[in-house]
Structure 1
Amino acid sequence: MEKLNQVLLKEDIRVGADLQAWLARGGGEGLAKALSNPDAILAEIEQADLRGMGGAGFPTHRKWRPVAAAAAGDKYIICNGNEDEPGTFKDRFLLEHTPHQVIEGTLIAAAATRANHVVLYVNPHQPLSLEMTRQAVQQWQTHALLAELERLLGGPLTLRVVPSSGLYIGGEETAVIASVEGTFPFPRRKPPYPADSGVHGAPTIVNNTETLAHVPGILRHGAQWYRALGVAQAAGTKLYSLSGDVLRPGLYELPMGTSLETLIFEFGGGMLQGKEFKAVFTGGPSNTLLTKRDLDVALDFDSVRKRRSRLGTGAMIVVSEGSSIVRKVAEYVSFFAQGSCGQCPPCKGGTFQLMRLLNRIDTGRGVRADLEALENLCRILPGSGRCGLIDGAVTVVDSSLHQFRDEYESQLMA
């Protein structure tokens, strides 16, 4: 496990906003190497098989390449630190404890794509994250590495912090762009994709905080070093936000591909006293449920997908026997209903109807027609919104119906 401590969470890199302390521990070396050969950055990221850690697991190099290939002019790198979904708390930790690592990752991305605008987009409901990021950005403004990057770009680079709207929907990438432009974070239909038309129509990359935090280590130590950190074919490490009915909830950095059982029962200490494992919401409440038969699954994007689930952000919300799945799902769908921006009627109305039906069943007032209505909504609602909010709400309902239909049946009125 010693080699894993070199990646994101090593105790001696938790230096907060102290740039000199970060540099004294090897910070800046990744950026310096990137600047010495900027045309090789994309190949290094591709060889490392770095994926997007915000949920989709999309290859990072594929997101960067179109922006790198775009004509000279304004280009944007946005670090998405809006993190607002229940059970997810990894980005907050990174911005509070090692913001320079994240900033260095954004600057390497700027070098790779020749972007001249870097934005740290931070949830204002996490005031320490916001304050530490602001302090860290201020310290970079006069550093020699930033000046060297500007020489590569042939002009000034703007590096700034933008507080997000604080809304859940504000983390969707087109909503992020709208917020950075100074408007309400209404998601937009795609295409055009941000790489083609983002902030003020300029090519734009929106990366999750954790994704960018991996970049300095890859450039510093090399792609093969990073790949070797994972298990089997999985590359690198992953931050897992573990919560729910476990003895040691918390944030764990483990090899990508660590088994679900190892995360819960070794690092999480197992279930609470007298409790038995029942299920886990993977990747936060907008994803599917895994059960006892899935404890052997490797926690990487591809392996979890083969179980008809998604790794998502790496949030794992553990549920014990005796806890009501219907109630948990009702709570999460209520969160989505409240978080809908109201722009798309099927989303606003659909999440409300899902919430209403789930609450009826949860409180013992549901009838067979309510269960059938839930199933019908799960069939007709996916894809009806401009973003993934309605799809996330449907996914968790549909998964719970598939895995725990007997619980729904047992709570219906005779």
Structure 2
Amino acid sequence: MNRTLPSSLDATDATDAPMRVLTSAAAQAGPELPAWLQAGGGLGLQRALQAPDRIIEVLRDAGLRGLGGAGFPTHLKWHAVAALAPLAGQGKWLICNGNEDEPGTFKDRYLLSRTPHQVIEGALIGALAVAANHVVLYVNPGQPEAVTSVSEAVQAWSGHPLLAQVAEAVGTPVELHVIPGSGLYVGGEETAAVASVMGGFPFPSLKPPFPAEAGVHGAPTLINNTETFAHVPHILRHGAAWYRTLGRGAAAGTKLYSLSGDVMRPGLHELPMGVTLRELIFIHGGGMLGSRPFKAVFTGGPSNTLLTAADLDVALDFDSVRERGSRLGTGAMIVVGEGTSVLRKTAEYVAFFADNSCGQCSSCKIGTHQVSRILDRIDGGAGRQSDLKALENLARLLPGSGRCGLVDGAATVLASSLSTFRHEYERALNR
């Protein structure tokens, strides 16, 4: 039987809907819950409480996608968890994944430090939608400001009537937990996050089963990135149609782009999903540092295919960037200007992956270290022509050989730099 969406979830509140959503002045309430509520916080959750069975539909209509890297449609993941029965003695779990640790990515620490309540409110709406009774804020312990802010914010929700209403709708008490991660990069992979939340070492595990089927203690578990949850209360408050108007073209909403490298104004920029790379760098980023010519950008963090000057007009959304053979990922953009060595940067990033391999998969642990050693040898002027062939073979053999995407990321950036900037490798060999 079809029902019209209740006006409480259809409303757009266009009069007070900010174009800067996650980073608006009103959102930056810190851990003070009264300040967040006074700025309009809580309205999204109140509207969700009026029709909890329609939450997932609203997110579908809004076009919200996972903003931690893959861009998977949020409503599909939420629906999968909502459709499963709770596990006896455990119920269901929800994890807000704030283990951000990749070079060039710094959006989640901003949200958790400056605007924790919009993240918590989004997570509570998620708990309401999937009937989760355990809500975990999973935070990188290397970001003490974020850990402190989230801990204070969670304490502020304790005993609040809205939390009690969520528990009543779910049918069981809803517990908020702040759990610092292991401090390891690999701990951000979803199955590793599950292991870490259970108190174990964050070893990624083979899938299936996916966490939605059997996550924390075997219970259905919903895992999304911090930025994804932060958008949810605004969508429920202002409506799906409003959210779609914020993006460009077919893209919906806004996106936090972490801009760094050889630009005049590095930092966090909240812009429409689908803004062009050229606009991000030359307008919002103030152009190239020292007026150097643009050379390339490590897109979505250092684990994707490099984009070059030929790609400056690409729309920064999941589908458009994928059409260029790369990925939007977390929205991190590490800009490289002429005079900065792509070979050197690639060596640095592969070394990061090698150092952060959990060692569970020998192809990853040994392979990434082998790539790192060869890159350092070439960059240091001691490379051999045979090293290029070895790197090409490793770039071909390593992808898909691990339980998580770490080795794939190292192989992808290696293959991309070899293909696009091979002249830098050749020049280093001929020094």
TM range (shorter): over 0.9
State yes or no: 1:49 paired with 2:63. Answer: yes
Partner of 1:404: 421
Q: Distance in 1 between matches of 2:18 and 2:63?
A: 17
From 247, 256, 261, the equivalent of 1:244 is 261
The residue matched to 1:261 in structure 2 has which SS?
Answer: helix
TM-score (structure 1 length as normaliser): 0.98
From 70, 79, 98, the equivalent of 1:65 is 79
8 Å contact 2:113–2:146 — kept in the other structure?
yes
1:111-190, aligned counterparts within 5 Å? 111-190=128-207
How far did 1:72 drift?
3.4
State yes or no: 1:328 paired with 2:345. Answer: yes
The residue matched to 1:394 in structure 2 has which SS?
Answer: helix
Partner of 1:235: 252
8 Å contact 1:4–1:237 — kept in the other structure?
no
Q: What is the letter of the counterpart of residue 286 of structure 1?
A: S
1:202-241, aligned counterparts within 5 Å? 202-241=219-258
* Percent of aligned pairs with the same amino acid: 65
Q: What is the letter of the counterpart of residue 10 of structure 1?
A: S
TM-score (structure 2 length as normaliser): 0.95
Q: Distance in 2 between matches of 1:374 and 1:171?
A: 27
How far did 1:401 drift?
1.0
Distance 1:332 1:309, change over 3 A: same
State yes or no: 1:23 paired with 2:37. Answer: yes
Partner of 1:319: 336
Q: Distance in 1 between matches of 2:152 and 2:393?
A: 50
Q: Distance in 2 between matches of 1:17 and 1:318?
A: 33
The residue matched to 1:206 in structure 2 has which SS?
Answer: strand
Q: Distance in 2 between matches of 1:175 and 1:327?
A: 30
State yes or no: 1:259 paired with 2:276. Answer: yes
8 Å contact 1:4–1:229 — kept in the other structure?
no
State yes or no: 1:302 paired with 2:316. Answer: no
Q: Distance in 2 between matches of 1:108 and 1:327?
A: 44
8 Å contact 1:4–1:255 — kept in the other structure?
no
The residue matched to 2:369 in structure 1 has which SS?
Answer: helix
State yes or no: 1:371 paired with 2:388. Answer: yes
Q: Distance in 2 between matches of 1:228 and 1:368?
A: 53
8 Å contact 2:276–2:315 — kept in the other structure?
yes
How far did 1:11 drift?
1.2
8 Å contact 1:242–1:250 — kept in the other structure?
yes
8 Å contact 2:19–2:246 — kept in the other structure?
no
How far did 1:365 drift?
1.1
Q: Distance in 2 between matches of 1:220 and 1:317?
A: 34
8 Å contact 2:17–2:238 — kept in the other structure?
no
How far did 1:12 drift?
2.4
Q: What is the aligned residue count?
A: 413
8 Å contact 2:255–2:331 — kept in the other structure?
yes
8 Å contact 1:105–1:215 — kept in the other structure?
yes
State yes or no: 1:37 paired with 2:54. Answer: no
| Deviating 4+ runs (over 3 angstroms) | 2-6
Q: What is the letter of the counterpart of residue 193 of structure 2?
A: V
Partner of 1:84: 101
Partner of 2:218: 201
8 Å contact 1:4–1:254 — kept in the other structure?
no
Q: Distance in 2 between matches of 1:152 and 1:230?
A: 33
| Deviations 1:46-105, CA, capped at 9 Å, x for gaps | 011101110000000111111100013411110000100010000000001110000000
From 100, 107, 127, the equivalent of 1:110 is 127
From 298, 309, 322, the equivalent of 1:292 is 309
8 Å contact 2:100–2:108 — kept in the other structure?
yes
| Deviations 1:278-329, CA, capped at 9 Å, x for gaps | 0000001111110001000000000000000000000000001011111000
How far did 1:189 drift?
0.5
How far did 1:274 drift?
3.7
